[in-house]
A and B are shown apart, each in its own frame.
Chain A
Amino acid sequence: MHRRKAELVFSTVRPAAVAVVLLAAVSLTACSHDKQAATAEMCVSEAEQNVTAAADNPNIPKAEVDASLGQVGDGCVFRGSGGFQLDVSKCPTDYDINTGITDKEIRLFTSMPHSGPLAAYGYIGDGLKNYLSYVNANGGVGGRTIQLDILDDHYQPDLTRKNVDKAIQDNKYAASVAILGSSNNGAIRDVMNDECMPHLLVASSEDRWGDVENYPWTTGMGLNYGNEAGLWKRWISDKYPDGATVAVVAMNNDFGKAYEAAFTDAAEGSNIKIVAKELIDPSAPNMTDQLTSAAASKAQVAIFAVAGTFCVQAIGGVERSSWDPDVITGNSCAQIETSLAPLQKEGLTGDGTMVIQYYYNPSDPANKAPEYAELYAEQMKKDGLDPEVAQYTNGWFWGWYLVAVLRNADAMQGGLNRANIAVAARTISQPYPLLVEGLTSKMNGVEDAYLFEGGQMFRYEGATTSKIGEWKPIGELINREGSTGNFAKLNLQ
């Protein structure tokens, strides 16, 4: 018996030992591994500048940048506005600032979930592509077309990383754009910055994407949760100067938890009291238990940091209950077609729901650029897409700023190259046509690392059970452009 056991152990160990010996033997032949020194060639820009090629079209952002910015001389330093500077000589030895950019095209990639519970967000990529095809048909960027490859990552960080590793080594992409998800972007931002791949306009609104000093190649885009929660707090303070009670209902995922934490921070030290905090398991079928608990707190204000069907459930649930708070939802519930219109079939309206908006949806009748909205619907139809899907409109939103970045880079010293693209992503000033009146969208190097820092409280009004309502601005526009700073020096008060 014992002998048998010993044999078993031996039969396991023997092949392993053989393998170890083999490996050691191979290693003995090892050579010493030296790092290669950097070469100067990688900073030579091959781009030809032909900015004038673009016709004057209000639906495509024009270059708006100080032409003295960009490459300093013929060196490896690229200068942006707001004290921002990139030194490319620290990049890998085989780095080339012209990768992915030819005289005919610029090749970019993105990574998004196309399956799983967040597959709906994958539509952003299709919307983005749709806008780019319009831009390509109307001059592109300095005569170049923009090609976007959409990769699927199932919302799994390891697959996002694999997509990025592949994109880096494929040596045909200039930059990434609108990669979705906070842990997904977290899993790649080190390698993106080590490899000097511009990590543009991240599709996640956490504050940490504004970390200019540690991650110069990474730029965020949407109104970050900290800013949005700060705006909620301001509005509540204005309406209830003597203090208010608030119930926060958030989804138990990256997005909901970030909102919840941001609002808790914003309300700290003020006379706003959070009397109920309820979390929803994203895989739960409904949220009645959470609504009952929140209602039991009898809070004056209800904040819903939710998305998807939970938007409708939250708004409808409060309307049906005897609780009558001011309902504020996250910007993720701002799409009328998906969050409010479904209520009608149930004899509800959703009237009175409030949301911080900083840009209109094209289908919103109150938007201030009807011709742009019309163009959007037309282009969607061309590709057979449903214009009412919220994520397509977000795709157009991302598309606008992507083109703004690329055109700005094209107009800088040294022309369109990857370093200039990363610099241009921190030098944006073109406002999206559907921005709320009076709002600006600027990036200014180290001084201002957030594109959106303001918004206005809107209330959903005029809806009946047979007719959808519209967002009406209430309260003043709050624009904190330039005062938030960057992640290291975050100022949200």
Chain B
Amino acid sequence: MGTVLSQAVSGGQADLDVVAARRRRARLRAVLVVIVLLAAFSVWAVIDGGAQLYLQRFFDGITNGLLYGLAALSLVIVFKATGIINFAQGPMAMLGCYLALTVLEMWPMPVLLAIVIAMVVSGLGGAVLERVLIRPFDPDNHMAIIIVTLALFLGFNALAALVWGFRPLSFPSPFPQGTADAIEIAGARLSYQAIGTALLVVGAVVVLELVLNRTRLGLSFRCVANDVANSRLLGIDIGRTVQFSWALAAAVGTLGACLIAPSTYVDPGFMNKILVYAFAAATLGGLDSIRGALAGGLLTGLSVSLVTGYLPGVGSELGLVVGFAMIIAVLQFKPAGLFGNRAMERV
């Protein structure tokens, strides 16, 4: 990848195009295989349990998958810039959600506004964390940085439990969420909440894709993740880049937590539960791909709800098992996930 990048800089455009095209084809093939498998399973499922049940399970899978994908986004953002997984992403998002809740309690305002305020504050918080705890380490010193995130994981969880206790709190949804607020398709219900969340998630993915793939900033993200020494030579401000990724991830994480919260309720552990699935989603999609996170999330959600729903002997308590079986299967064929970049793998 280092050579690819330098070629790009010096104008080896033809080679780059060939590589990119090959990569695109491989990606397309993998996604097609997954879709065909899913479709075949679906036909069997409809015959087995009827269309209405199938559709409801499909909606369940999509709705949950969106949430997993949303949580996976913030993991991917940090990974793209640093090459590490931020273990503290779950607790950070959880704190952001409590923050939004506190803001709402103190000053009555529209939910969306509260979410935006919480996003801004947690973005700043993320930047400060990076400056104080991450910057002192060499960006290549992955072990030390992972340990810092592990420490934050433990600390933030404990802090939230100390401050807010374990009582489940409800988080108001920015979308209508009553009994009647759903559309019915062939007897299966898809709530407005799910539709609204889906729109927001897709919007977030588009914006992030544009920012990270079409701007100089995105290029510097990839550059730093790939080769710190080279980036330094190219004049990229590594500290700033990583700091921005932390801020962005914290803000996106808070958005995710606030959209997830209405369906899971808020307690100190709620984002950790999601994060395990989000990690699965991110791995499945490729740890360095924004759209991969979304695709991985949807795939995880769908496979969990369909496989536990239809395969006899796989009880619904084994959802996590199904999700991870999926990962192991996919990684055997695509070791860097469906959308991932092979050259990026490292720890």
Contact = CB atoms under 8 A, between A and B. Distances in A.
Direct contact of A and B (CB under 8 A): yes
B264 A309 contact: yes
Interface in B120-134: none
A321 B189 contact: yes
Contact of B60 (A123, A292, A338, A347): A292
Interface string B311-323: 0000111111000
A389 B267 CA distance: 13
Interface string A106-131: 00000000010101100100000000
B277 A285 contact: yes
Given A296-B49, A309-B267, A289 B60 contact: yes
Contact of A285 (B176, B177, B260): B260
B214 interface: no
Interface in A383-433: 386, 388-389
Nearest to A349: B179
Given A286-B64, A346-B262, A292 B305 contact: yes
Contacts of B182: 320
B178 A386 contact: no
Contact of A290 (B167, B274, B316): B316
Contacts of A270: none
B237 interface: no
Contacts of B63: 288
A286 B173 CA distance: 16
Interface string A312-352: 11000001111000000000000001100011111110000
Given A278-B316, A320-B191, A119 B57 contact: no
Contact of B168 (A280, A308, A346, A348): A308
Contact of B179 (A288, A345, A348): A348
B230 interface: no
Contact of B170 (A280, A320, A346): A346
Interface string B251-284: 0000000001011110101100110110000000
Given A119-B161, A285-B277, A320-B179, A280 B308 contact: no
B319 A342 contact: no
Contacts of B169: 342
Contacts of A296: 49, 53, 56
Contacts, number: 122
Given A308-B267, A319-B179, A289 B304 contact: yes
B165 A389 contact: yes
A290 B270 CA distance: 18
Contacts of B184: 322
A485 B63 CA distance: 49
A77 B209 CA distance: 79
Interface in A359-393: 386, 388-389
A338 B277 contact: no
Contacts of B309: 289, 292-293
Nearest to A296: B53
Contacts of B317: 252, 279-281, 284
A436 B199 CA distance: 49
A386 B317 CA distance: 33
B187 interface: yes
Contacts of B161: 115, 119
A10 to B, nearest CB: 36
**Most interface-central of A279, A281, A285, A388 (chain B CB within 10 A):** A285
B181 A284 contact: no
Nearest to A388: B167
Interface in B147-171: 158, 161, 165-171
Contact of B318 (A281, A285, A344, A346): A281
B335 interface: no
B196 interface: no
Contacts of A319: 179
Contacts of B304: 289
**Most interface-central of A280, A309, A338, A465 (chain B CB within 10 A):** A309
B199 to A, nearest CB: 19
A448 to B, nearest CB: 35
A347 B177 contact: yes
B239 interface: no
Given A285-B274, A292-B60, A312 B265 contact: yes
How big is chain A's contact interface, by range? 35 or more
Contacts of A288: 60, 63-64, 263, 305
Contacts of A280: 316-317
B316 A312 contact: no
Contact of A312 (B168, B260, B276): B168
Given A117-B269, A288-B64, A346-B262, A322 B189 contact: yes
A490 B161 CA distance: 41
B102 to A, nearest CB: 15
B128 to A, nearest CB: 27
B57 A309 contact: no
B170 A343 contact: yes
A279 B165 CA distance: 27
B315 A279 contact: yes
B262 A338 contact: no
Interface in A192-250: none
B170 A345 contact: yes
Nearest to A347: B178
A295 B52 CA distance: 11
A36 interface: no
**Most interface-central of B53, B60, B173, B276 (chain A CB within 10 A):** B60
A298 to B, nearest CB: 10
A279 B168 contact: no
Contacts of A283: 273, 276, 320
A292 B273 contact: no
**Most interface-central of B67, B317, B320 (chain A CB within 10 A):** B317
A134 B63 CA distance: 50
A285 B273 contact: yes
A312 B274 contact: no
A312 B274 CA distance: 18
Contacts of A343: 170
B200 to A, nearest CB: 18
A386 B170 contact: no
16 contacts: A120-B166, A278-B315, A279-B316, A281-B318, A284-B317, A284-B319, A285-B264, A289-B64, A289-B316, A293-B309, A295-B56, A345-B170, A345-B171, A346-B177, A348-B178, A348-B179
Interface of A: 115, 117, 119-120, 123, 252, 278-281, 283-286, 288-290, 292-293, 295-296, 308-309, 312-313, 319-322, 337-338, 342-348, 386, 388-389, 465
User: Sorted from nearest, which 6 A-B pairs have the closest CB atoms?
Assistant: A347-B178, A120-B166, A342-B170, A279-B317, A252-B317, A285-B273
Interface of B: 49, 53, 56-57, 60-61, 63-64, 67, 158, 161, 165-173, 176-179, 181-182, 184, 187, 189, 191, 260, 262-265, 267, 269-270, 273-274, 276-277, 304-305, 308-309, 315-320
Given A120-B167, A123-B166, A288-B60, 6 more contacts: A278-B316, A289-B60, A293-B308, A312-B265, A321-B189, A344-B170
